[in-house]
């Protein structure tokens, strides 16, 4: 399947010179709070097991990340989520829909360095599995919607997540059913008429 498109913690400082247990505990607590505030969104998403793809006009698709399948791809999704307000601005979208087969889009970012690695999938792709399109490293992605394992793919695609729940699958089915066309004629790739923007955030 080919794509058509192509904290650092803040330093802690004790607020006095006393060495009694109460003052030490207070300094430690204040330092931990200051470090967490400095870390911000990066700390929230650093070890996230889920992210959400918000598809404009359709709803949210929750993904369970699979670092054991491909760690660097998961780190890319987490990085996008850590800067959710800007990382996908005007660059992430869904553009291809194939009923009973897939939803495809791009997670291209101007501010986050893209994943550059590929790895054979851990198994045949199944309904709800998420991988990089065109057997490449991304940023174009797809969600497999077939009812049966994708034997025609083999294990050629880098797979890094699964759709988390049926509500998310229902959103994807609405996307794939949206008005679309095949500009190249019958038997060619089908493109959605109005491409929904996508934003990535921590679930």
**Does residue 32 fall inside a structural domain?**
no
pLDDT in tens, 65-106: 999 999 999 999 999 999 988 999 899 999 999 999 999 999
- Whole-angstrom Cα distance, residue 192 to residue 195? 6
**Does residue 34 fall inside a structural domain?**
no
Are 114 and 77 spatial neighbours (Cβ–Cβ below 8 Å)? Answer: no
Are 48 and 202 spatial neighbours (Cβ–Cβ below 8 Å)? Answer: yes
**Does residue 3 fall inside a structural domain?**
no
**Does residue 35 fall inside a structural domain?**
no
Q: What's the domain range around 177?
A: 44-202
Q: Please give the pLDDT value at position 139.
A: 97
Q: Please give the pLDDT value at position 84.
A: 86
- Whole-angstrom Cα distance, residue 196 to residue 110? 18
**Does residue 107 fall inside a structural domain?**
yes
Residue 30 has pLDDT above 90, yes or no: no
Question: CB neighbours of 78 closer than 8 A, spacing ≥ 6?
Answer: 45, 46, 48, 51, 65
Number of domains observed in the structure of the chain: 1
Q: Please give the pLDDT value at position 131.
A: 98
**Does residue 95 fall inside a structural domain?**
yes
Q: Residue 40, class by beta-carbon neighbours within 10 Å (0-12 exposed, 13-18 middle, 19+ buried)?
A: exposed
**Does residue 69 fall inside a structural domain?**
yes
pLDDT in tens, 141-180: 999 999 999 999 999 999 999 999 999 999 999 999 999 9
Residue 168 is encoded by which pair of tokens?
């998310």
**Does residue 5 fall inside a structural domain?**
no
Q: What is the residue-averaged pLDDT of the chain?
A: 84
Task: List the CATH number of the domain containing 91.
Answer: 2.40.100.10
């Amino acid at each position: 399947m080919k794509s058509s498109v192509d904290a650092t913690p803040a330093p802690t400082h004790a607020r006095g010179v006393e060495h009694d247990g109460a003052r030490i505990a207070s300094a430690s607590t204040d330092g931990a709070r200051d470090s967490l505030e400095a870390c911000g969104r990066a700390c929230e998403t650093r070890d996230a097991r889920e992210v959400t793809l918000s598809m404009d006009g359709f709803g949210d698709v929750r993904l369970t990340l699979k670092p054991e399948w491909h760690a660097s791809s998961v780190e890319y999704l987490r990085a996008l989520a850590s800067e959710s307000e800007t990382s996908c601005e005007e660059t992430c979208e869904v553009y291809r829909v194939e009923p009973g087969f897939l939803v495809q889009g791009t997670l291209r970012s101007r501010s986050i360095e893209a994943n550059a690695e590929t790895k054979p999938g851990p198994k045949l792709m199944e309904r709800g599995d998420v991988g990089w399109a065109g057997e490449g490293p991304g940023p174009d992605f797809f969600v497999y919607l077939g009812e049966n394992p994708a034997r025609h793919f083999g294990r050629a695609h880098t797979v890094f997540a699964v759709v988390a729940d049926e509500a998310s699958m229902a959103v994807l089915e609405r996307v794939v059913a949206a008005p679309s066309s095949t500009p190249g004629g019958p038997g060619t790739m089908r493109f959605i008429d109005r491409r929904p923007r996508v934003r990535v955030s921590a679930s």
